[in-house]
Chains A and B, each alone.
Chain A
Amino acid sequence: MDTVETTTPRPHQENAAPRPVGESVTRLDAHEKVTGEAVFADDLQFGPNMLYARIKRSPHPHARILKIDASQALALPGVKTVVTGQSTPGFIGLYLKDRHIFCTDRARFVGDPVAGVAAVTEEIAERALDLIHVEYEVLPPVLDPEDGVRPDAELLHPELGSYEVANFIFPQPGTNIPNLFKIRKGDVDQALSEAAAVVHHTFRVPHVQHVPIEPHVAIAKVDERGRVTLWGSSQSPFAQRNLIASALGISQADLEVVAPYVGGGFGCKAGVSMEALAVAIAMQVRGRPVKLRLTREEEFYTTFVRQGLVAHFTMACDAEGNLTAMDNKFYWDGGAYAEYGVNMTRGAGYSSSGPYDVPNVRTDSFCVYTNHPVGGPMRGFGQPEMQCGLEQCINHLALEIGMDPMDFRRRNCVKEGSNLVTGMKMHATGIGECIEKAAEAIGWGHKDPPSAPHKRRGKGIAAMWKAPAMSPNAGSSAWIEMSEDGKCTLGLGGQELGQGTFTVMAQMAAATLGIPYDWVRIASPVDTKYSPYEWQTVASRLTWSMGNAVVAAAKDARRQILELVARSWEETPEDLDIVNGNVISAKSGRSSSLKGLVVYGLAKPGDQGWIGGPILGRGSFMPTYVTGLDPETGQGQRAVVHYTTGAQAVEVEVDLETGRVQVLRGASAFDMGKAINPDLVNVQMEGGLVQGISTALFECLQLKDGVVRNPSFVDYRIATSADAPRDMQSIIVEVPQDDGPFGARGVGEHSMVPTMPAIANAIHDALGIHPGAPPFTAEKVYLAMVDAGLVK
């Protein structure tokens, strides 16, 4: 097996990558998705035996469950089972096991699953919910993360100290703090006292939802021997296999997760959210598939939401405009369970300097339990929320010291060899180029006249960085099986969410193996029983991590083929190559098609037997070089695998009569090391910009007393094509990554990280008003203009 072991940086790969790497080939899934042929989880058919599940949910943000009486529901014709927390006593969770599948003694948010029903129709299951009677003792809720850390706060998880936890997460038993990440670098107080300029700001970033076009759906079936099959819309088939099996006390080998195409994830289908409910219910009705499908309204508050954040920044620089200190306090609104969200706290902490070289940094990043919906991963994994405030402070500080905000960023941004906030040394990065190119693309420094007298224009820029936030040893694997005609099937466990990963993997496999792109098939759907292991499709990590595994598998297959042919031709493998599906010899000039030989091997001369056999390439990749960080200082050798960096610049126009902000143009420049497929990279940059605009201008879960007041698209507005800028530019910067395939690193999430602050900074440029926390709705901007005396 060819395993990539990267402990020390390898030399950069040369830029001339073999075809079709670097080409914008057509997506593998384009035809089936355009025609509607593509299969999604809700399309799967299970026949008349299938049951439908619905979930009884807590109407209280915080309550003790005194009694559940399901007798009336069980008596309703068509109801097959009612499941409560008594059947599922185990804990579940990715980094911190703090959650039961169904509530046992306590409900911690509005929507917390209290009981589940399976019935012959969805309507009967729904009707049965009203017949389940739950007695609650209502408890005081925690509705603000800063309230949650107070010593007298009501405790949501008194058992926090006994929960199983990953060794890089630091819960504080006896509090509502499931993780506290600290950075102590340099002497912040000294630096602040000597600074030429200091800014201090607080931002309250609201919860938002991922709103994938396809709501969550899961179908579970348990056979008579207790073996489980789960079909679902999933970013994490293997993590679900592991977490659900552990919670139910069964072997991972007895739980199979089948995951067809995902109709949008953005993080909400990572880890486990509602899938375990379907499995727990199916346990009680063995032999029958049980389908659970969330309504759009449930989608808004019962699965993961993006955490809210209260962030306090103090930032300082010297007279020349060099950043000297940052003092940060983050209070993450982790919601009722923080099993996944605890790692966002950590990610925000080890990136808390932003993409800047800052000698003195002090950060306290608190994850706080609240009686709010469960905070989970969302595109950017905490960085959009954190850098929203950070990048506005950078702007303020630049203006305070009298520098152009673009120059200030160029001056302070990290460079190769910079001593990062965790003590890690920065690798080669193109961030400076990204900042310059994004600014240049919107005509930085040039003020355009507004389109009408009652409008004002402004330009803003923000830079960003983000590392894949994951377990340090998150692994990938792949296999390549050759078919008789020389084409191949590529097995992988990463998921196609629309981002194009199957296409990119096929490109890398074809390039490495030496066959045409259209010779590669993907073994899909991903099925944990047949597909190779992949940790999760998150963290923008597939192109990099799964790509390394795919390249390793392709190299392994290639090596086997070349050794076989070399033996037959009595040459050495080093003199042979595979080009366009043919083995060729540079030495003898011989050439042979792959046809036949990759399955049947080759005959020895004179009919004296055979050599070779079916070619099966295998590869795996796991980063082995990420080290732990000191719990008190956050310092260590290597906090993360690497950082993807970039910048966005936008031009906005503000309507002085309504406060409406229109983004006229936006430029994104990101350094993804190597664009394996430039078109796919460009649409990631465009998509991230539009989603970023949506969260900057419109999106907000309006929480009141723990209740989401706008759980539908009527009142949860997202950007439409009309709200997107007409002029979007995407700029590819390629400074190769030493541990990435063909020099590539991920770019899926990054393009929505800098959008909120870029727009905020542009609004400030237009009006002279700091708009603060998103969303920068027309109302918020108008009332800010009134308060500033700009309008009446």
Chain B
Amino acid sequence: MREAHPGLPDFDYVRPADLEEASRFLAQNPQTARPFMGGTDTFVRLRDGFWKETRYLVDVKNLDGRSEITFDPQKGLTVGAAVSMNQVVANPRVGSHYSLLAQAAHRVASYQLRTRATLVGNVCNASPAGDTLGACLLFGGVLRVHGVEGFRDEPLASFFQGPGRTALKPGDIVTAIRFPLPVPGSVGHYEKLGRNLLSDLAIVGVTVLGHPDSSTASGYRFHLALASVGPVPVVLPDLLTQAPVTPEALEEAAGQAMESCHPIDDVRGSARYRKLMVRNLSRRALTRVWEGLQSGYRGE
């Protein structure tokens, strides 16, 4: 059982003047310093004794340009690292071009927590249950990272390495996440199954993004991502391309999703139930997207 501690362990709050200083400090204290963004996971983990070595919290949320959402009709969307979930949900550009992202962000925790929690923080936290990871992956998200050697890009496709483990190195600070323009006509849907209706972690999360594609036999292309059924998000790209999309084909794709994952038993649910739910919720999400593609629906 995890030890319960009152209050927080001692730590120093560090507020660097710029990114260089922040990266340098983090790199010099690889075991003991952690970047601090919304804090919704950080403080819980500190209190739980999960991060025993942390001595410095490096506040990186007030650095330049990090609290903005920008949209370029040619290049796509950029969400600054300090942008809260609620800001993502409320942004009209996100709503009109990346509504799946807004839908997923809306299912994270509770309204109160979403005023602090950030999209980039959710990604960097790399929880297998992260609600927005699927949408970020399927939209082809790329992280803008500042490290000791300057800026670089980290595509999400190769970012997640295990629960809480990512491609980030000591000194790395994610400044934004960028998404290219979605394929025209894209429709997305996120199905989250929690134990109760509000503010739970996902027992299973299924994200689906589909779009018309004249190069495939079906005329469509579907991508699917699964949460909470493995150490990292499970992605099934390019589904339902070979043959016309029918209820049977959707069912088959859902079965494929079920076979692709290897969940475990834990306090939130059994592996057996999770697999069955991957099938049922994949069927549900694929069907919703398929209906949307036919009717012009753009997701919730």
Contact = CB atoms under 8 A, between A and B. Distances in A.
A657 B1 contact: no
Interface string A653-685: 000011010000000000000000000000000
Contact of B7 (A122, A298, A709): A122
B261 to A, nearest CB: 16
15 contacts: A123-B7, A293-B6, A296-B4, A298-B4, A657-B283, A658-B277, A702-B267, A707-B1, A711-B2, A717-B196, A720-B198, A721-B198, A779-B203, A779-B269, A779-B270
A110 B1 contact: yes
Interface string B263-278: 0000111101100110
Given A658-B280, A778-B193, A782-B276, A295 B198 contact: no
A756 B280 CA distance: 27
Contacts of B281: 657-658
B113 to A, nearest CB: 12
A778 B270 CA distance: 12
A293 B7 CA distance: 11
A668 to B, nearest CB: 21
Contacts of B195: 698, 717, 777-778
B236 to A, nearest CB: 19
B268 A711 contact: no
A707 B197 CA distance: 27
Nearest to B194: A717
B28 interface: no
Contacts of A714: 201
A710 B4 CA distance: 12
Interface string B242-267: 00000000000000000000000001
Contacts of B268: 715
Contacts of B269: 779
A723 interface: yes
A696 to B, nearest CB: 12
B264 to A, nearest CB: 14
Nearest to A660: B193
4 residue pairs, one from A and one from B, having the closest CB atoms = A297-B4, A722-B197, A295-B4, A657-B280
Interface residues of A, number: 37
B97 interface: no
B273 A295 contact: no
Interface string A353-369: 00000000000000000
B189 interface: no
Contacts of B7: 122-123, 126
Contacts of B10: 123
Interface in B173-213: 193, 195-201, 203
A786 B276 contact: yes
A788 to B, nearest CB: 14
Nearest to B200: A717
B4 A697 contact: no
| Size category of the binding interface on chain B | 20 to 34
A777 B199 CA distance: 16
A782 B10 CA distance: 46
A723 B4 contact: no
A120 interface: no
Contacts of B201: 714
Nearest to B10: A123
Contact of B198 (A658, A711, A723, A782): A723
Nearest to A783: B273
A54 interface: yes
A718 B195 CA distance: 9
A714 B200 CA distance: 7
A126 B276 CA distance: 44
B253 to A, nearest CB: 16
Interface of B: 1-2, 4-7, 10, 193, 195-201, 203, 267-270, 272-273, 276-277, 280-281, 283-284
Contacts of A660: 193
Nearest to B284: A657
SS class of chain B's interface: helix, strand, loop or mixed? loop
Nearest to A713: B199
A722 B203 CA distance: 18
Contacts of A710: 267
A298 B5 CA distance: 9
A602 interface: no
A196 interface: no
Contacts of A718: 196
Contacts of A428: none
A293 B6 CA distance: 9
A708 B1 contact: yes
A522 interface: no
A420 B200 CA distance: 45
Given A126-B6, A715-B267, A779 B273 contact: yes
Interface string A266-283: 000000000000000000
B6 A54 contact: yes
Nearest to A715: B267
Contacts of A296: 4
A714 B267 CA distance: 10
B4 A719 contact: no
Contacts of B6: 54, 122-123, 126, 293, 295
B202 to A, nearest CB: 12
Contacts of A719: 196
A783 B1 contact: no
Contacts of B276: 782, 786, 792
Interface in A122-140: 122-123, 126
Contacts of B200: 717
A698 B268 CA distance: 11
Contacts of A778: 193, 195, 203
Contacts of A717: 195-196, 200
B128 to A, nearest CB: 14
A294 B6 CA distance: 8
A298 B4 CA distance: 7
Contacts of A792: 276
Most buried by A among B2, B267, B270, B284: B267
A782 B7 CA distance: 40
A709 B1 contact: yes
A729 B237 CA distance: 49
A722 B199 CA distance: 10
A586 B277 CA distance: 77
A709 B196 contact: no
Contacts of B197: 720, 722-723
A149 B95 CA distance: 62
Contacts of B283: 657
Contacts of A122: 6-7
Given A657-B280, A658-B280, A714-B201, A720 B196 contact: yes
B198 A722 contact: yes
B203 to A, nearest CB: 8
Contacts of B4: 295-298, 711
Contacts of B198: 720-723
A777 B193 CA distance: 12
Contact of A711 (B1, B5, B196): B1
Given A54-B6, A709-B267, A721-B198, 4 more contacts: A657-B280, A717-B196, A720-B197, A722-B197
Interface in A274-306: 293, 295-298
Nearest to A724: B197
Contacts of B270: 779, 783
Contact of A126 (B1, B5, B272, B284): B5
Nearest to A709: B267
Most buried by B among A110, A707, A723: A723
Most buried by A among B4, B267, B268: B4
Most buried by A among B196, B201, B272: B196
Contacts of A298: 4
B196 A697 contact: yes
Most buried by A among B1, B197, B273: B1
A75 B143 CA distance: 50
Contacts of B1: 110, 707-709, 711
A491 B198 CA distance: 43
